[in-house]
A and B are shown apart, each in its own frame.
Chain A
Amino acid sequence: MHKSPTIATALTILLVSIFLISCQKDSPSQGKLYLYNWTYYTPDAIVEQFEKETGIDVIIDNFASNEEMFAKVMAGGNEGYDIIFPSSDYTSIMIKLDLLEKLDHKRIPNLKYIDPLIKEKASYDRNMDYSVPYFMGSSGIAVDTSKAPEGYARDWSIFSDERMDGRMSMLDDMREVLGAALKHLGYSGNTTNEQELSQAKDLIVTEWKPNLVKFDSESFAKSFSRGEFWVSHCYPENVFAEIPKDQWDTIDFFIPPEGGMMYIDNMVIPKGAKNNEAAHAFINFIHNPKVYAQFLDEFSFPPTTNTTASKYMKNHSFAFTSEDMSNSDNIMDLGQDLEKYNTLWQIIRYEP
């Protein structure tokens, strides 16, 4: 006899929850902005400032690699995002596949603050028709000087240093690692020449990999700060975020002189984005020099991309500078030839 109320309660809860779910499904778009961004890439303070000034609610989903983001996009998971932050190679793929909305420059007056140099590097979209650069940066090598032996090489050959066997990590990223080897050998990081690529693969497999403990693009910063890795092929902002400021002088971060792989992360609006208006407003907001300066300070980034912002920056000691990147290659899309990299990367990763 006492089963009926229970069933009724259960059904009620079910119906209410389904209702809640369906509410989430077709969320009203005025007042909400959905970002698909790298983890922690846009400081909370900036997001909150935007929310206060415009009254728009910002919701951020994260990804940790372009591939992850793109896999979701290709599976139809990009619907519902108003702004996505792909790197150059994926931006150009998305443009080729006609996945992006054309931008209305009239609604983004702050574009005038963007460094013309970066527009040159962004050969896939020089006029910013579909993408606005968010940040131009680079990976590099971080060394824990409190642990590493003296006299290590301050270039890519550090990974051949057997004294640090089992204490080094490289990014789990095919373009970054093959790119590093290519640059060390004096080739372009975007080459499709099979001999050059093969040499790079041999370098990695015979000299670097034996000394590595892990290919890690996810928790290298944590492991570095824990003393597990002494040398880490990394993105500096992640590492510095993990280590207390008073220990920053024990970290030697450098971009090897022969150059490495740099990236330009862009803001794009996917086709069918529900809140086009707010998306444009957000992009414009980011490039307000005062706001951008906050972003740079948060990560101790040098003022690439939006050089006017340097006036407002409080921080003037950077992990790296634009000059350090002068020999670096921007990661570009290689279309069909990417398969050559895939094959070699499989050998590097899967064969002991």
Chain B
Amino acid sequence: MRKLLKPREREQMLGTAYAFPMGIWFTLFFTIPLGIIVLYSFLKRGLYGGVEWEFTLDAYKQMFNPSFGRVVIRTLWISVLATLGCILIAIPCGYAMAKSKYQTVLLFLIIIPFWTNSLIRIYAWISILSTEGFVNSLLIKLGLIDQGLKLIYNNGAVVLVLIYMYLPFAILPLFTTIDKFDFSLLDAARDLGASKLEAIIKVMFPNIKSGLSTAFIFTFIPIFGAYTVPLLVGGKDSTMIGNIIVDQVSKTRNWPLASAFSMVLTFISLVGVFWMLYNGKREQMQSKKTTQQSLEQNIKKHHLIRGEK
């Protein structure tokens, strides 16, 4: 005879049964490794790699070395530029896709390049941008320049290729959210006197906040920790934080320092994830309220302009 469980207990048991396999997997292979990294960041480095069991704050102190500071600043501005580029391009793209009849085809087109090996795509950019590559050969043939421009092995190339690699991550969330957006609200706002741009900024943007924050998180954080792109298309002064971390693991074998940097990046990612989840929840609750409010405001403004005193 099966024991009759109280509904609440049953819920617990079922929920646990469903979610725990994944939970255990993550705990074992994700949380614990991250935990080990936290631990290592407080230990002393071994001469030939590895760690020695001695508590020290050396790693964190080393992080404040001025040469690292330069790299951090560089990583910041490259990341901000690349993220901005992605988002600014992704918004009109998402808008156009949401309004289009050919959504599936467009999705298809956006995703396919993403399915090619990332190294190959980066490498293709090298042959496009190099001094005797496609772009320069074309420009020379057209007589616009005499000698090849230095388009590669510098920070500009890094930003460009980063934008290229992470665009789909910005376009997809924005497309999804814009797709759910009720466009008749835009028409309503314009009928009430708002300009095209005003309508988009005051009515659409507040409602796609979750899409914007998702797009931001999914581009900024991975870009911030990028490694391969600066390595392959960057120049002598294009080192980013991701490169430092790898260098500390493989070249200098300073695992505590690598762990300390990783901790910082993990912390930033956690904050980012919380912000994104928070925005998502808030938007679900507030979306109707906000549009109503802004519509009411517009109506009031309209009446005021019309001169109803």
Contact = CB atoms under 8 A, between A and B. Distances in A.
B184 to A, nearest CB: 40
Nearest to A346: B67
A317 interface: no
A97 interface: yes
Contacts of B236: 209, 212-215, 349
Interface of B: 47-50, 65-68, 70-71, 127, 130-133, 150, 152-153, 231-232, 234-237, 239, 244, 249-254
A5 interface: no
A70 B237 contact: no
29 contacts: A65-B250, A65-B251, A74-B49, A74-B253, A93-B48, A97-B48, A166-B150, A212-B236, A213-B153, A213-B235, A214-B153, A214-B234, A214-B235, A226-B131, A226-B132, A228-B130, A228-B153, A335-B47, A336-B47, A342-B252, A346-B67, A346-B68, A347-B67, A349-B67, A349-B239, A350-B239, A350-B244, A351-B66, A351-B70
A227 interface: yes
Given A209-B236, A350-B67, A350-B239, A67 B251 contact: yes
Contacts of B67: 346-347, 349-351
B235 A350 contact: no
A228 B251 contact: no
Nearest to A68: B250
Contacts of B47: 335-336
Given A67-B250, A214-B236, A219-B232, A350 B68 contact: yes
Most chain A CB atoms below 10 A, which of B68, B127, B150, B235: B235
B49 A70 contact: yes
Q: Would you list the 9 A-B pairs with minimal beta carbon distance, nearest first?
A: A350-B67, A74-B49, A71-B250, A352-B237, A67-B251, A227-B132, A67-B250, A214-B153, A351-B67
Contacts of A350: 67-68, 70-71, 239, 244
Given A74-B50, A342-B254, A350-B244, 16 more contacts: A65-B250, A65-B251, A71-B250, A74-B253, A93-B48, A213-B150, A214-B236, A223-B130, A226-B131, A227-B132, A228-B130, A228-B132, A346-B65, A349-B236, A351-B70, A352-B70
B134 to A, nearest CB: 12
Contacts of B244: 350
A352 B232 CA distance: 18
A47 interface: no
A128 interface: no
A346 B47 CA distance: 18
A71 B49 contact: yes
A243 interface: no
A226 B130 contact: yes
A67 B66 CA distance: 25
Interface residues of A, number: 30
Contacts of B250: 65, 67-68, 71
Contacts of B70: 350-352
Contacts of A352: 70, 237
Contacts, number: 69
Most chain B CB atoms below 10 A, which of A97, A223, A346: A346
Contacts of B49: 70-71, 74
A99 to B, nearest CB: 10
B252 A74 contact: no
Interface string A51-85: 00000000000000101101100100000000000
A174 interface: yes
Contacts of A223: 130
B147 to A, nearest CB: 11
Nearest to B239: A350
Interface in A200-217: 209, 212-215
A228 B47 CA distance: 38
A71 B131 contact: no
A223 B48 CA distance: 33
Contacts of B239: 349-350
A109 to B, nearest CB: 34
Nearest to B150: A166
A346 B49 CA distance: 17
A334 to B, nearest CB: 11
A70 B253 CA distance: 9
Interface string A309-352: 00000000000000000000000000110000010001101111
A138 B79 CA distance: 39
B131 A227 contact: yes
A270 to B, nearest CB: 15
A239 to B, nearest CB: 17
A215 B251 CA distance: 14
Interface in A109-143: none
A93 B47 CA distance: 10
B266 to A, nearest CB: 20
A91 to B, nearest CB: 13
Given A212-B236, A213-B236, A352-B237, A71 B253 contact: yes
Contacts of A351: 66-67, 70
Contacts of A71: 49, 249-250, 253
Contacts of A212: 236
Contacts of A214: 153, 234-236
Nearest to B49: A74
B76 to A, nearest CB: 15
Interface in A208-251: 209, 212-215, 218-219, 223, 226-228
Nearest to B71: A350
A122 to B, nearest CB: 20
Contacts of B152: 228
B131 A228 contact: yes
Contacts of B237: 352
A302 to B, nearest CB: 30
